[in-house]
Amino acid sequence: MKILKYLFFLLLIVVIGGAIYFATKDGSFDVAETKTIDAPAEVIYNNVKDFKNWEDWGPWMSEDPDMEITYAEKTEGEGASYSWTSDVMGDGAMRNTKVIPNKEIEQIIVFNTPLGDSESDVYWKFEEGEAAGTTDVTWGMKGEQSFLEKVFMSFQSEDFETTLRTMYGNGLTNLDKVVTETMKVFSVNVDGLAQHGGGYYMYNTTSAKQSDIGMKMGDMMGQVMGFMQANNIQTAGMPFTIYNNIDDNNGSVIFSACIPVRDRVITPEGSTVVCGFMEPVTALKTTLKGNYDNLSAAYTKAQEYMAQNNLTPHPTANMFEVYVTDPGDIPNPANYVTEVYIPVLVPAENQ
């Protein structure tokens, strides 16, 4: 009996000692992961802001594909929420408490476990990256573990912070892939023959390798716009590019960056920006919705259409592109709209 009594007291000491240890152990945590994503903050935020999009990149989906998700009537903005039930991940809910578009989101997450309900703060930050056009995305959670949670996590193969950091890191990697693929989406539509009214335009001209057109185009448009602003010249339409000469053998092109104006403008002698005039023309119109690096696909489809419909390119009129959308206003390149015009000889039946 004395031995049993000693064992009982020894066990009691161990239990009390363990309780004191876990009770005094710091349970506060603040764990975050940051990933630089090659996309504007607005594009990334527009994906993260709606809980319905989280199914596409949430790291827990791979842990439990059978997770049942219930969305509230409001799934984005302050007060938006959703909840879930899972045999693997447990049950829980999340709600937005603060939203600053394109900058940060604050949320409350509640886990319903056999150890009781646990509430923590989740936060997102979207900050400009070092490289142009990139965003540093931070996803984190902070809070305080309960006594039972501290005991439970002490017997797991990984500590709580390591588990959480791994999950958030995987989630940001998934988000990066989803956002990147979203920005690559494009479509091409051959609209058919169209009448373009032509008119006056301000422009400058240069020659370049075909691979360098995009790099030079922005600077050239900036020079034209700067000249127009300095001389109080109003625009009369969206910018466009005229391809004056294309040398496929050498991979070079002579092109003009143009901005429409209402009337003829007399420029000073020696000015690099001058005024031109485009005659009205009948052209095959093709519309690209997507990033400019997909323009080759638009031209390929247009050329196929011309061959199938026996259309003859105009011998003197140059093909041109009209940039319907301003990239400064459209964060996602998948939503850029470009109209491609290839001037053609008008079929006799249409004259």
- Looking at residue 157, its pLDDT comes to 44
pLDDT of 69 above 60: yes
What is the model's pTM? 0.81
Share of the chain above pLDDT 90, in %: 69
For the chain, the average pLDDT equals 87
| In the chain, where the domains are located | 27-184, 187-350
What mean pLDDT is predicted for residues 296-324?
96
Domain 187-350 has CATH 3.20.80.10: yes
**What's the half-sphere exposure (Cβ side, CA atoms, 13 Å) at 262?**
5
Please tell me if the domain spanning 27-184 has the same topology as the one spanning 187-350. no
DSSP secondary structure letter of residue 75: -
Q: Is the pLDDT of residue 25 over 60?
A: no
Residue 7 has pLDDT above 60, yes or no: no
> What is the rounded CA–CA span in Å between residue 320 and residue 313?
13
CATH number of 27-184: 3.30.530.20
Dump the DSSP string for 134-195. -EEEEEEEEEE--HHHHHHHHTSSS-HHHHHHHHHHHHHHHHHHHHHHHHH--EEEEEEEEE
Distance linking the first and last C-alpha atoms of the chain: 116
Ranking 24-28, 69-73, 159-163 by mean pLDDT, the lowest is 24-28
Banded model confidence at residue 303, pLDDT cuts 50, 70, 90: very high
pLDDT of res. 121: 94
DSSP character string of 195-252: EE--EEEEEEEEEEEGGGHHHHHHHHHHHHHHHHHHTTPPP-S--EEEEEEEETTTTE
The closest of 321, 333, 290, 285 to 213, measured between CA atoms, is 321
| Average pLDDT of the residues in 245-262 | 92
What does the block give as tokens for 230? 């300095």
